[in-house]
Amino acid sequence: MTDSLIRGRLLSFKRAPLAMTDTDSYLYEHDGALLVSGGRITATGDYAQVKAQATADVEEIDHRPHLILPGLIDTHVHFPQMQVIASYAGNLLEWLNTYTFPEECRFVESDHATRIATHFYDEFLRHGTTTAVAYCSVHKTSADAFFAEAMKRNMCMVGGKVMMDRNAPQGLLDTAEMGYDETRAVIAEWHGKGRNHVAITPRFAITSTPGQMKAAEALAQEFPDLFIQTHLSENHDEIKYTAELYPEATDYTDIYARYGLLGKKTLLGHAIHLSEREADALSEAGSIAVHCPTSNLFLGSGLFPLKALRRREKPVRVSVATDIGGGSSYSMLKTMDEAYKIQQLLGERLNPLESYYLMTRGNAEALGMEADIGTLDIGSMADLVILDAGSTPAMRLRMETVKTLPEELFLLQTMGDDRAVVETYVAGKAMKTGLGGDEMQTG
Ligand code: GUN
Ligand code: ZN
């Protein structure tokens, strides 16, 4: 493969920005370029200087005046819920029982799982997302389809076969033993293949018996390097029912702690209604509270105190995510737009630099993957998104009055969606062009 020189306005974060004026927290290169060789970034910075390091046969791609950012990262999605999005429900448990569980039953069929996997990756690439952390269904077939398609596209993906052995339709239940055996099989077949990472995935305490939680604990002990993902404190009725099912636990967080599931590689979806004790416990464990703003608003679950959790004396690590299909958009831009509004309602300010940090380097740090993804640093994989803040007539008009980079980023976040994504690169390869959106079956 020949090297490529990708030219545009580079933006990459070095650390979390402390304020809108914190220009040291990021690198911005107005006429910048990335040299990409073997899928990785081998030079970065000023165009003329980077070009000087390229060979004569380098393929040059000019994205000026657009922005080049690291590919966006989504830390909580449900692969089998593409046909659940926009389901009309009053709350989480009604939504799960009425729409989500019946839909996930279909993933026992590998043809169905394979078809949806194609659309899943098409949709993420269309929205500029190059890495996602996903729940598959309870069926091993769904994890097989998920990881096979990720490998075809050379994408860095984290996923897990969901473990669930109660409180759901029969077609969606495993047993403690099956959950253990099939998760082991998924690890053996997929973990470390291509850019795949397997996560141990007990869905949440309501759908796992104590016996299955023990099986998850055994997996966590046998495979300490694996991610663990589950849901925590999303909805008040959920929290109440969970307490009834695990009366011996101090609180919801304590259930996962008792089964050895809280560690630095644990991602806890939602985690909205935490007590101070629970926030301390997450902080001490180094576990990550995953903010899913569009979902939390759509299902009426609550307002996640992102800023308050981060600035505690014992800060809680956070990441951001769409939570498709409780979430209502595949776009991380839209996700951060909703995250911003939630902070507004809580009397807090989430500035645009923080938003772009969170969906790139911040999420990569939450996954401990910042050496590979989430930045434009030398040595990083060339997973990139090209963004155009003037992608619609209304945005172009507003751009006429935009004077600073933070203003431009804020406009992109507030009005942007998949139309703002000019191109998405995975390991240096342009992936968005030619996606088969028109081939979608409508019947
Ligand atoms: N809690 C348990 N399962 C789910 C799910 O699929 N979506 C959401 N939003 N919450 C959950
Ligand atoms: Zn979820």
What's the pLDDT tens digit per position in 144-173?
999 999 999 999 999 999 999 999 999 999
pLDDT (average), residues 51-76: 98
The ligand with the least distance to the CA atom of 104 is 1
Ligand 1 neighbourhood includes 323 CB (under 6 angstroms): yes
Give the model's pLDDT for residue 443. Answer: 34
Give the model's pLDDT for residue 435. Answer: 75
Give the model's pLDDT for residue 110. Answer: 97
Give the model's pLDDT for residue 436. Answer: 55
Q: Is the pLDDT of residue 265 over 70?
A: yes
**Would you call 83 exposed, middle or buried from its count of C-beta atoms within 10 A (0-12, 13-18, 19+)?**
middle
Closest CA to 97 of 299, 253, 249, 252: 299
Whether residue 356 contacts residue 388, with contact meaning beta carbons closer than 8 Å, is answered with no
Q: Which ligand 1 atom is the nearest neighbour of the CA of 238?
A: 1
**Would you call 98 exposed, middle or buried from its count of C-beta atoms within 10 A (0-12, 13-18, 19+)?**
middle
pLDDT (average), residues 176-202: 98
Q: What is the DSSP string of 345-394?
A: HTT----HHHHHHIIIIIHHHHTT-TTTSSS--TTSB--EEEE-TT-SHH
Closest CA to 157 of 183, 131, 135: 131
Strands of 4-13's sheet in order across: 40-46, 26-37, 4-13, 59-70, 384-387, 421-426, 429-430
Distance from the alpha carbon of residue 321 to the mean position of ligand 2, in angstroms: 9
Query: Hey, whose CA ends up nearest to atom 11 of ligand 1?
Result: 231
Both tokens assigned to 320:
């951001």
Whether residue 35 contacts residue 53, with contact meaning beta carbons closer than 8 Å, is answered with yes
Query: Hey, whose CA ends up nearest to atom 8 of ligand 1?
Result: 326
* Alpha helices in 127-209, H assignment, sequence order: 140-152, 176-190
Query: Hey, whose CA ends up nearest to atom 7 of ligand 1?
Result: 326
Distance from the alpha carbon of residue 76 to the mean position of ligand 2, in angstroms: 6
Distance from the alpha carbon of residue 30 to the mean position of ligand 2, in angstroms: 38
Distance from the alpha carbon of residue 323 to the mean position of ligand 2, in angstroms: 5
Give the model's pLDDT for residue 2. Answer: 84
Give the model's pLDDT for residue 440. Answer: 43
Dist CA 155 CA 121 (whole Å):
9
Distance from the alpha carbon of residue 11 to the mean position of ligand 2, in angstroms: 30
Mean pLDDT of the chain: 97
Give the model's pLDDT for residue 442. Answer: 38
The ligand with the least distance to the CA atom of 268 is 2
Task: Write out the H or E segment, with its range, that includes residue 196.
Answer: strand 196-202
CB contact burial 19-39 (16+ within 10 A = b; e otherwise): eeeeeebbbebeebbbbbbeb
Ligand 1 neighbourhood includes 234 CB (under 6 angstroms): yes
In the chain, what are the domains? 4-70+373-434 (2.30.40.10), 72-330 (3.20.20.140)
How many other C-beta atoms are found inside a 10 Å radius of the C-beta of residue 244? 8
Query: Hey, whose CA ends up nearest to atom 3 of ligand 1?
Result: 203
Ligand 1 neighbourhood includes 140 CB (under 6 angstroms): no
Dist CA 100 CA 366 (whole Å):
27
Dist CA 123 CA 327 (whole Å):
14
Ligand 1 neighbourhood includes 383 CB (under 6 angstroms): no
pLDDT (average), residues 37-46: 98
Overall pTM surpassing 0.95 (yes/no): yes
Q: Is the pLDDT of residue 439 over 80?
A: no
Both tokens assigned to 330:
């595949």
Distance from the alpha carbon of residue 99 to the mean position of ligand 1, in angstroms: 11
Q: Tell me the ipTM for this assembly.
A: 0.99
Q: What are phi and psi of 214, to 5 degrees?
A: -65, -40
Ligand 1 neighbourhood includes 161 CB (under 6 angstroms): no
Show the CA angle centred on residue 131, arms to residues 297 and 122, nearest 5°: 85
pLDDT band with cut points at 50, 70 and 90 for residue 438: very low
pLDDT band with cut points at 50, 70 and 90 for residue 177: very high
The ligand with the least distance to the CA atom of 84 is 1
Give the model's pLDDT for residue 138. Answer: 98
pLDDT band with cut points at 50, 70 and 90 for residue 433: confident
Distance from the alpha carbon of residue 24 to the mean position of ligand 1, in angstroms: 38
Q: Which residues pair with 69 in a beta bridge?
A: 385
Distance from the alpha carbon of residue 261 to the mean position of ligand 1, in angstroms: 18
- pLDDT tens, position by position, 218-233: 999 999 999 999 999 9
31: Cβ contacts below 8 Å, ≥ 6 apart: 7, 9, 46, 47, 48, 64
